[in-house]
Amino acid sequence: MPYPVGNPYINQKKSDSQTPMLQMNQTIGTVFKVDHVDFDNGGDEGKHKQLRIPGHNQGYTVSNGNIVLYTNTNPPADFTAGTPSLILRKTGGKEIPLTRRRKNSGDSFFYLPCGILVKTQLIVVDNRQEGQLWTFGSGVTINRAFSDNCPPFLTTPVIYYAIPVGPNVGIDPNVDVSANTTTNATTLSFNISRRTARDEVAGPIVVVKFVAFGVI
């Protein structure tokens, strides 16, 4: 507040305190008009209409079991420098950038408030390529790297899903896909095969959507 701490002083006249007190009241009135419901607005008076947090370029430590919410213009591995992200942090925990995300036609990621990183990626598999003959009776293991545009898992992902979804919209019923567990936090792995020999006429190209959940 602009009102000086300790003011009014013991030996100070009321007229001496008038200016800083007026300034304080005007400032409080301005803040409430912007961020709060008006004082004379029934049962909602004094409540927040919005919460604005200035952007900073530093993190904050947390202690005593507290949880803090702040903005950071340079959150962990941020892909847009200078853009504030809303950060949630628990005592002894890592920064969780709640508003950091990416989505395009090939890959995406987002964070859950508990600290889980969710990544998805579309992988095009063509059985005409050498080493990818996933016809009936002979499946193949596909190993790919997660997109460089997505932040890495700091530990091994804990849950995987692989779903055949192409080349058209909807799940491809003629293909079996199963995600493999990996010890590498930057790569994905799955096994793919045809259900029956007749299904080969469906085409040699299948798009697989791979989903992984892991901690940051």
Q: Look at the domain 100-215 and name its fold.
A: Immunoglobulin-like (2.60.40)
Place of tokens 């849950």: 159
**Residue range 95-112: mean pLDDT, rounded:** 87
DSSP 36: B
Is residue 1 pLDDT above 60, yes or no? Answer: no
Q: Cα–Cα distance between 7 and 15 in angstroms, integer?
A: 12
Quick check: 124 and 192 in contact, CB under 8 A?
no
Reported confidence tier of residue 197, pLDDT bands at 50, 70, 90: low
Rounded Cα distance between 86 and 98, Å, is 6
Q: What is the mean pLDDT of residues 77-87?
A: 77
- Strands in 60-146 per DSSP E: 67-72, 85-90, 96-97, 101-103, 107-111, 116-126, 140-145
CA 4 to chain CA mean position, Å: 41
Residue 194 C-alpha from the chain's centroid: 35
